[in-house]
Chain A
Amino acid sequence: MYQYDKYDHQMLADRVAQFRDQTARFLDGQLADGEFLPLRLQNGLYIQRLAPMLRIAVPYGMLSSTQLRKLAHIARYYDKGYAHFTTRQNVQFNWPQLEEVPDILAHLAEVEMHAIQTSGNCIRNTTTDQFAGVAPDELEDSRPYCEIIRQWSTFHPEFAFLPRKFKIAVCGTKVDQAATQVHDIGIYLVKGPGGDVGFRILAGGGLGRTPVIGQEVFEFVEKKHLLTALEAILRVYNREGRRDNKYKARIKILVKETGLDAFRAKVMDEWSVIKDSQLTLTDEEISRCKAYFVDPPYAALDDRPEALAKPLQSNVLFANWFEQNVRPHKKSGYAIATVCLKETGVAPGDVTDTQLEHIADFADKYSFGEIRVTHHQNIVLADVRQEDLYALFQDLQSQSLASHNLGLITDMICCPGGDFCALANAKSIPIAEAVQRRFDNFQRIKEIGQMNINISGCMNACGHHHVGNIGILGVDKKGEEFYQISLGGSSKNEASLGKIIGPSFAQEEIPDVIEKIVDVYTAQRTSGEKFIDTYNRIGIEPFKESVYAKAD
């Protein structure tokens, strides 16, 4: 993974000093609320319902065991003993004291971490596929380019006060795990006309109040032009994006109102000025960044060793976990294991300080000391020897981390919701728990199969409800919490946005509603058909009829 050099370290040290000074000025009244607001937001600090919330960047989801231990330390000493993994592959702490935030940032800087631009109207943390570098279907590892984008976007002086937040995702695999098409900019690694790998760049995707799928601005750009192309898009957006209405300020509205062709023409005009400028990437820089993401020293191993085959036959829990949570690896004898943070009764994405330390130990023991955070709020050990999987499983079990529901109906994406977030209209964590309690029989949820439920507590859509097969959105109706259900969303390659089924429901109705939807699906599906395919085939009506049927 990327290692800081003296320049990166210096910038982080400067940032901590700067924020310490800003916080001190705020606390003694020299800096007004409104002036401190964007400064603290660009350091990931929100003032929330109960306490400040600090969001820490995990660039493209990569963490070392050293960094995990530092997060555990922060959870223990500055929070209430737990951390929360978000849908942007970041980490949040819900209980820090404002006065202590500069100290937390200093701790983080020691392990090359920070909270820079995790909030505010600026370029946010770049995300990618959690299986980058180990997926068998990868064209090229996306992480070196994510790092290049991270550096370009960090403290970019021109784009610190954009009309609205700005999110970039990069995808290098055939199967899109990064929800690339619903980002302000989505970048695909693709082969160009000459056979060289470069980028296809989409702009104007996004969730939130008006969900939109991104549209193609660059069909193909050579690698060296990546940053100038991005800078051209951002420049047009910064100048022309709407600033009169917060809800129309994202780039998706600009692209829509300008029209794709006219928008592209503006981008090309800006690009023509900077295309071959100093910002053009050099081969040396691409190689330098790639060198941080070379394969770890893999051993020559065979697939399906005895040490795996045997416990698979004798231990049904392990067999379930293996089937759900383990994926094939590009290297024979290795596997990708996902630690699903969706234990029933625990808020999705939450981990305790001790669990973090144990995961760090497991990473050291089994996976070259690295982990990845997924936008599904789970954790990946990407390089586990197949012969070690059973030992890993037992270790995970000992820490209540062996939940084997990955990708199944109880592996929900869920924002912190009204329990924590000041923006929320409704709670979301209790909804997730109620659904998990309803679907508590593993045999049954396995029969239901791949299914994702995404829950957001408000329109801001942190829980990505638009792209859930089943989306649940908390809404406020005359001061009461209600939930709107949508069906048919997907963030995969066939990206689609869910359609609202009808009038919203009270909290206690949700498990029944979900169950009815699932029953329609399982009754109507042909063998092996995914929810999204059944839905596309039969439409929303049968679901509607079942959900709103009057009881006799």
Chain B
Amino acid sequence: MPKLIKNGALAPDRWTVLKEATGPEVLQVLLGKNLIVPLKFWKLYRAELNDYPGEIAVWLNSNENVADIAGELNQFSLIALNFPVFSDGRSYTNARALRERYAYQGEIRAIGDVLRDQLFYMSRCGFDAFELRHDQDEAACLQSFNDFTTSYQATITEPRPLFRRRQ
């Protein structure tokens, strides 16, 4: 069972991530589950997904751009952004774009190589759910959101930069 942190606490996961999918027949096996499907899959099989009895969300890999689905964001209650490896920083920019440019209000979930030492930065870029890599210690991960008391930048969690907050 993957470990999920949502809004600062451990949470049960009501979603299933479809990591790879070749064709729509896979949906038959998963009937009824709420699915996070790859962006390409969602684009190719929209008709099949419309008939699917369960909620559908998408995930984007780090080389995909959220601008690609900018007009359709409101049909998703969740968008997941993948970290193929923790040192690939592109999903941070995608998360910020979702929140800032497209004012996306739903859940933004980090999936993939999601590690304790990056959670704080992810949360500041707009992620509010984190599917931890299997070996991560949940307690330490929860603690890491408090690694820093304050920050300089304007971000999603603190829209004013420090220079507008200094006292």
Residue of A155, A274, A281 with most partner-chain B CB within 10 A: A155
CB pair B117–A158 under 8 Å, yes or no, is no
Out of A30, A39, A148, A278, which one reaches B154, CB within 8 Å? A278
One of A159-167, A190-198, A209-217, A385-393 at the interface: A159-167
Task: Please give the distance in Å from A52's CB to the nearest CB on chain B.
Answer: 19
CB pair B152–A152 under 8 Å, yes or no, is yes
As a 0/1 sequence over residues 44 to 86 of chain B, the CB contacts with chain A under 8 angstroms (1 = contact) are 0000000000000000000001000000000000000000001
CB pair B121–A22 under 8 Å, yes or no, is no
B3 at the interface (CB under 8 A from A): no
Q: Identify whether the interface residues of B are mostly helix, strand, loop, or mixed.
A: loop
CB interface residues, B 98-150, toward A, < 8 Å: 100-101, 115, 117-118, 120-122, 124-125, 137, 147-150
CB pair A157–B153 under 8 Å, yes or no, is yes
Supposing A160-B89, A285-B163 touch, asked if A273 and B149 sit within 8 A by C-beta, the answer is no
Number of A-B contacts (CB under 8 A): 104
B34 at the interface (CB under 8 A from A): no
CB pair A278–B160 under 8 Å, yes or no, is yes
Supposing A7-B162, A11-B148, A157-B124 touch, asked if A22 and B153 sit within 8 A by C-beta, the answer is no
Q: How far is the CA of A288 from the CA of B100 in the complex (A)?
A: 28
CB pair A157–B150 under 8 Å, yes or no, is no
CB pair A161–B154 under 8 Å, yes or no, is no
CB pair B164–A282 under 8 Å, yes or no, is yes
A258 at the interface (CB under 8 A from B): no
Out of A11, A22, A35, A158, which one reaches B125, CB within 8 Å? A158
CB pair A11–B151 under 8 Å, yes or no, is yes
Q: In the complex, which residues of chain A have a beta carbon less than 8 angstroms from the beta carbon of B120?
A: 157
A243 at the interface (CB under 8 A from B): yes
CB pair A38–B154 under 8 Å, yes or no, is no
Q: In the complex, which residues of chain A have a beta carbon less than 8 angstroms from the beta carbon of B87?
A: 38, 121, 161
Q: In the complex, which residues of chain B have a beta carbon less than 8 angstroms from the beta carbon of A159?
A: 89, 92
Supposing A158-B125, A278-B160 touch, asked if A152 and B90 sit within 8 A by C-beta, the answer is no
Q: How far is the CA of A157 from the CA of B147 in the complex (A)?
A: 13
Closest A residue, CB atoms, query B156: A157
CB pair A157–B166 under 8 Å, yes or no, is no
B13 at the interface (CB under 8 A from A): no
Q: How far is the CA of A284 from the CA of B161 in the complex (A)?
A: 13
CB pair A239–B93 under 8 Å, yes or no, is yes
Closest B residue, CB atoms, query A239: B93
Q: In the complex, which residues of chain A have a beta carbon less than 8 angstroms from the beta carbon of B125?
A: 157-158
A447 at the interface (CB under 8 A from B): no
CB pair B163–A14 under 8 Å, yes or no, is no
CB pair A11–B121 under 8 Å, yes or no, is no
A238 at the interface (CB under 8 A from B): yes
CB pair B166–A158 under 8 Å, yes or no, is no
CB pair A281–B163 under 8 Å, yes or no, is yes
CB pair B92–A157 under 8 Å, yes or no, is yes
Q: In the complex, which residues of chain B have a beta carbon less than 8 angstroms from the beta carbon of A158?
A: 89, 92-93, 96, 121, 125, 155
Q: How far is the CA of A239 from the CA of B91 in the complex (A)?
A: 8
Closest A residue, CB atoms, query B148: A14
A445 at the interface (CB under 8 A from B): no
A154 at the interface (CB under 8 A from B): yes
A279 at the interface (CB under 8 A from B): yes
Q: How far is the CA of A12 from the CA of B150 in the complex (A)?
A: 10
Q: In the complex, which residues of chain B have a beta carbon less than 8 angstroms from the beta carbon of A15?
A: 148
Q: How far is the CA of A277 from the CA of B160 in the complex (A)?
A: 9
Q: In the complex, which residues of chain A have a beta carbon less than 8 angstroms from the beta carbon of B162?
A: 7, 151
Supposing A22-B117, A274-B100 touch, asked if A161 and B147 sit within 8 A by C-beta, the answer is no
CB pair B161–A11 under 8 Å, yes or no, is no
Q: In the complex, which residues of chain A have a beta carbon less than 8 angstroms from the beta carbon of B93?
A: 158, 235, 238-239
Task: Please give the distance in Å from B128's CB to the nearest CB on chain A.
Answer: 14
CB pair B89–A155 under 8 Å, yes or no, is no
CB pair A35–B100 under 8 Å, yes or no, is no
Q: In the complex, which residues of chain A have a beta carbon less than 8 angstroms from the beta carbon of B159?
A: 278
Closest A residue, CB atoms, query B92: A158
CB pair B100–A5 under 8 Å, yes or no, is no
Q: In the complex, which residues of chain A have a beta carbon less than 8 angstroms from the beta carbon of B65?
A: 239
CB pair A273–B100 under 8 Å, yes or no, is yes
Q: In the complex, which residues of chain B have a beta carbon less than 8 angstroms from the beta carbon of A277?
A: 154
Task: Please give the distance in Å from B108's CB to the nearest CB on chain A.
Answer: 14
Q: How far is the CA of A15 from the CA of B160 in the complex (A)?
A: 21
CB pair B166–A10 under 8 Å, yes or no, is no
Q: In the complex, which residues of chain A have a beta carbon less than 8 angstroms from the beta carbon of B90?
A: 238-239, 243
Closest A residue, CB atoms, query B100: A273
Closest B residue, CB atoms, query A278: B154
Q: In the complex, which residues of chain A have a beta carbon less than 8 angstroms from the beta carbon of B155?
A: 157-158
A394 at the interface (CB under 8 A from B): no
A18 at the interface (CB under 8 A from B): yes
CB pair A39–B163 under 8 Å, yes or no, is no
Residue of A14, A158, A160, A288 with most partner-chain B CB within 10 A: A158
Residue of B88, B115, B161, B163 with most partner-chain A CB within 10 A: B163
Q: How far is the CA of A152 from the CA of B89 in the complex (A)?
A: 18
As a 0/1 sequence over residues 25 to 42 of chain A, the CB contacts with chain B under 8 angstroms (1 = contact) are 000001100010011000
Closest B residue, CB atoms, query A37: B87
Q: In the complex, which residues of chain B have a beta carbon less than 8 angstroms from the beta carbon of A154?
A: 152
Q: How far is the CA of A250 from the CA of B14 in the complex (A)?
A: 41
Q: In the complex, which residues of chain B have a beta carbon less than 8 angstroms from the beta carbon of A278?
A: 154, 159-161, 164
Q: How far is the CA of A441 from the CA of B64 in the complex (A)?
A: 62
Q: How far is the CA of A14 from the CA of B120 in the complex (A)?
A: 13
Q: How far is the CA of A157 from the CA of B101 in the complex (A)?
A: 17
Closest B residue, CB atoms, query A34: B87
Task: Please give the distance in Å from A517's CB to the nearest CB on chain B.
Answer: 43
A-B contact pairs, 20 of them (CB 8 A): A5-B166, A7-B166, A10-B150, A11-B148, A15-B148, A35-B117, A39-B117, A151-B152, A152-B152, A152-B161, A155-B148, A157-B125, A158-B121, A158-B125, A160-B92, A238-B89, A239-B90, A274-B100, A278-B161, A284-B163
Given contact pairs A15-B148, A157-B125, enumerate 12 new A-B contacts (beta carbons under 8 Å). Answer: A17-B147, A35-B115, A151-B152, A151-B163, A152-B161, A157-B155, A235-B93, A235-B96, A243-B90, A273-B100, A281-B163, A282-B163
The 3 closest A-B pairs by CB, nearest first: A161-B89, A157-B121, A285-B163
Measured CB to CB, the residues of B under 8 A from A are: 65, 86-90, 92-94, 96, 100-101, 115, 117-118, 120-122, 124-125, 137, 147-155, 159-164, 166
